[in-house]
Structure 1
Amino acid sequence: MCRTLLIVFASLLLSACGNGGTEKDKAAETVALVPVEAVAAAARPIDASYSGTATLEADREADVVAKTGGVLLRLLVEEGDAVRQGQVLARLDDASPRLSLAKAEATLRKLEADYRRADEMFGRKLLSLEEHDKIKFDLDNQRAVHDLSRLELSYTNVIAPIDGVIGKRMVKEGNLIQVNQPLFHIVDFDPLLGVLNVPERELNILKPGQPVSMSVDALPGQRFPGVIERVSPVVEAASGTFRVTCRFNATLQTLKPGMFGRIDVVYDRKQDALAIPRGALIEEDGETAVYLIVDAPPSAEVKPKDGKAVDAPAPAAAPAAVPAAAALHAQRRVVHIGFSDSEYVEVRDGLKAGDRVITVGRNAVRDGTLVQVLDTAAASASSVPVAEKTP
């Protein structure tokens, strides 16, 4: 019963207020505004850069293969060990090569003695030139056999062909090793290379020696400096790109081959460019534009280009109701941009310092839409809960 009486009383009160309004009150009509956030264009340093992605790869890496056969008797290194060029990595069974070398040495000593006697006899005219030359030929041939046997024996010590780190071990002790069988994979971590496939329009911009920086997914928050090592002079017809090879020093082996990196090449810098956030740009109809915040006339209506008065567009979010005379509206402005980085773009034409452009809510407005600029700093402060005082 009480609830019904309250409803009736409220209806009568609203009716009385409506009938008692004046023409002056109706003139203070309120309109719905679209809430937006805006940032003023201001001078700031900005870099001209090219960004791309690449997978790091080692400049030098090698598979260590067996040059002779035999049973693997001993492994001297393991995965992750740093090795130097010429270091012994493993040893194979050398019994058979040693016997072959001993046999070659014995035959060599015999032929050397035969040649000394033949040389004396040839000096006394007791041996023909033909027989002397034949003995000398046999001696030279045996020397080659001896050297080959010594070389085969040396192959039982598997050595590192380059400096680096053992990335993979592919055999175990006791395995029977065949000739040319892979045993280890060695990777030289310093330097590491990242290859960018760059569109041909950048061909005259990127040069060897330019500094670069890289971030990798595996090490967030860190950036690694590098330099452009070389630039391919050939543009691939199929993709319309050319190869740019960047070099990075793997300090303390932080970077690893196979890591995925994002590389930024900064090729120019302006200290006082007029810049706005990238989020303010709108690409439509082949033009780059922004929405400015400008003063609105004291009216609840907006006139589009055809001259007919229409109501202001309804907001996408819950609008605020304010007097129309205090409102602002959005104005579309075509701009010409220059340098850009990950956050800001340079505006070369279309804006001046201090112009406010819409960054949040730009998709909900059109040219002439009435807007309300939110104070993001105040909104953030008001969202922090106040601690209750304990009595």
Structure 2
Amino acid sequence: MKKSTKKHILVYFLAIMLIVSLFAVAQFYVRQTRQRIQKTQEEAATQSQTEAETLLTKVKVVEILPVPFTDILVLPGTVVPYEDIDLAAKTSGTVEWIGPKQGARLKKDEKLLQVDVTSSKTKVTEARALYEQALKDYNRIKRLYNEKITSKEQLDNAETVLNTSKAALDSTSVNLKDGTLYSPINGILDNLLVDPGEYINPGQTVMKIVDIDRVYIELPVPEKDILYFTKGQEVALQMSVAGGRENNNETSGTSDFRQGDFNGVIDFVSMTADNTTRTYLVKVLAENSEHKMRPGMIVRARLVRRELQDAIAVPFFTIIDHEKGKSVFVIDEEGVARERPIQYGSFQRGLVEIRNGLKLGDKLVVVGQRSLVEGQKVEITGDITPLARQWILEGRDLSKLTVDILQ
């Protein structure tokens, strides 16, 4: 082999060794770089998890406990008088005298109005004279009949004349009596529709008399609720009544009002529904001696549908409103927030009856629920279950728990 050939082989060998060495160095560098990147990622993940745990949403919870709950239906009602009478004239004539003024309090059988009955008095006088003459004739013929001097036919004719004259006298006497109108009830003269000197006709309304010492509150009850209510059931009533000025501000030009509380009793429950509204009429009778409730006023009636001893109820502020419905958040055993769709019933002093979606023992979020999402890990910073249990035992208003838990 020539010397030049050996030299070329050596050069090739050295070149190959250099390439292999460079490749090994490159591989080593790549491995080192990957290890550094992986370590950095692991450290970043650990740091993110630590920061996430540090920034967990803080919530307060309460265990769902059975609570006494009154299922109440609140309805607007209209006040109507206990008695409402349109007093009508019984005979025609000119109004001669009117006693009470409009707005006056009336007593039953009190004289109210007098129609000019001069012609009626004349007719009564004539009818009485005819009757007295017929009575004399009848007695005379009867005596003759008993003595067998006159016939039975003459006696019958005399009796007929007597009865006819008696009927005429009674009729004219009634007309005379009908000229005077008396109050049929104890009440108030709410509207006077005629004046002295005015001519009136039979059946014409001359006065409106109302009795509001007691009043009815008429309530339109939906058909789904009507079976809850019966005659004799007590009802709580509320309305705005004048309460005087709380501040002596003479220039304000407005009056202050407060809520008036009254009690009533169901006196009537309709058996048939209104064809238009599909509601049933319920009439609540209430004492109104101070006349604070006036006909036509609107009153809020609170009717008890059910008394529940172990209901599931939550504060109204814990409920979240979505387009799909309403829900609440509970915390499971692993400290994760779970959203629960609910079906709710009636309200009572800030509490809402939950008919579906919660069960006893669930841990309900009462503070922090607005910022939660399904499956989110949370930190429970307070459990107000002992306080809620104490309030239930004391019969206190659970809707006011927010005053304590937010402090």
TM value normalised by structure 1:
0.69
| 1:154 matched to 2:180 | no
Report Cα offsets for 1:110-155 as digits up to 9, x if no partner: 2222222222222233322212211211111111111111111111
Pick which of 152-161 and 39-48 moved more: 39-48
1:357 counterpart residue number: 366
Report Cα offsets for 1:243-276 as digits up to 9, x if no partner: 3332222233222222111111124334665532
1:251 counterpart residue number: 289
C-alpha root-mean-square deviation of aligned residues, in Å?
4.0
Any conservation in 1 of the 2:59–2:365 contact (CA below 8 Å)? no
Any conservation in 2 of the 1:83–1:166 contact (CA below 8 Å)? yes
| 1:213 matched to 2:242 | no
The structure-2 alpha-carbon separation of the partners of 1:63 and 1:206, relative to structure 1 and needing over 3 Å to count, comes to: same
The structure-2 alpha-carbon separation of the partners of 1:37 and 1:57, relative to structure 1 and needing over 3 Å to count, comes to: farther
Partner Cα distance (1:369, 1:160) in 2 = 76
2:69 counterpart residue number: 46
Kindly tell me the number of residue pairs found equivalent between the two proteins.
Answer: 325
Partner Cα distance (2:157, 2:56) in 1 = 107
| 1:179 matched to 2:202 | yes
Any conservation in 2 of the 1:290–1:357 contact (CA below 8 Å)? no
2:306 counterpart residue number: 268
| 1:116 matched to 2:139 | yes
Which residue of 344, 350, 355 maps to 2:351?
A: 344
Letter matched to residue 81 of structure 2: A
Q: Note the C-alpha offset of 1:341.
A: 2.2
2:9 counterpart residue number: none
Partner Cα distance (1:256, 1:350) in 2 = 47
Q: Where does structure 1 lack aligned partners over 5 or more consecutive residues?
A: 1-21, 298-328, 382-391
Any conservation in 1 of the 2:102–2:189 contact (CA below 8 Å)? yes
Report Cα offsets for 1:348-371 as digits up to 9, x if no partner: 634648633359x84x76436799
Q: Where does structure 2 lack aligned partners over 5 or more consecutive residues?
A: 1-42, 243-257, 382-401
Matches within 5 A, 1:29-178: 40=62, 45-178=68-201
Partner Cα distance (1:335, 1:144) in 2 = 79
Letter matched to residue 283 of structure 2: T
Q: Note the C-alpha offset of 1:58.
A: 2.3
TM value normalised by structure 2:
0.66
1:291 counterpart residue number: 329
Q: Name whichever structure is richer in helix by fraction.
A: 2
Q: Note the C-alpha offset of 1:335.
A: 4.3
Matches within 5 A, 1:312-327: none
Partner Cα distance (2:300, 2:59) in 1 = 31
Partner Cα distance (2:79, 2:60) in 1 = 40
Aligned residues with identical type, % of pairs: 24
SS of the aligned residue for 2:217 comes to strand
Which residue of 263, 280, 283 maps to 1:225?
A: 263
The structure-2 alpha-carbon separation of the partners of 1:289 and 1:30, relative to structure 1 and needing over 3 Å to count, comes to: closer
SS of the aligned residue for 2:97 comes to strand
Matches within 5 A, 1:180-195: 180-195=203-218
Which residue of 339, 343, 355 maps to 1:332?
A: 339
Any conservation in 2 of the 1:210–1:267 contact (CA below 8 Å)? no
Partner Cα distance (2:112, 2:170) in 1 = 23
Q: Note the C-alpha offset of 1:289.
A: 1.9
Partner Cα distance (2:163, 2:56) in 1 = 99
Any conservation in 1 of the 2:330–2:363 contact (CA below 8 Å)? no
SS of the aligned residue for 1:233 comes to strand
SS of the aligned residue for 2:96 comes to strand
Partner Cα distance (2:118, 2:92) in 1 = 12
SS of the aligned residue for 1:132 comes to helix
Partner Cα distance (1:284, 1:76) in 2 = 67
Any conservation in 2 of the 1:291–1:358 contact (CA below 8 Å)? no
Q: Note the C-alpha offset of 1:193.
A: 1.9
The structure-2 alpha-carbon separation of the partners of 1:145 and 1:49, relative to structure 1 and needing over 3 Å to count, comes to: same
The structure having more radius of gyration, on CA atoms, is 2
Any conservation in 1 of the 2:331–2:363 contact (CA below 8 Å)? no
Partner Cα distance (2:116, 2:378) in 1 = 86
Report Cα offsets for 1:82-117 as digits up to 9, x if no partner: 223322111121211111111111112222222222
Partner Cα distance (2:58, 2:205) in 1 = 65
Letter matched to residue 280 of structure 1: T
Q: Note the C-alpha offset of 1:229.
A: 1.7
Letter matched to residue 202 of structure 1: D
Pick which of 217-226 and 334-343 moved more: 334-343
Q: Note the C-alpha offset of 1:183.
A: 0.8
Letter matched to residue 341 of structure 2: V
Letter matched to residue 298 of structure 2: F
Any conservation in 2 of the 1:292–1:356 contact (CA below 8 Å)? yes
Any conservation in 2 of the 1:108–1:143 contact (CA below 8 Å)? yes
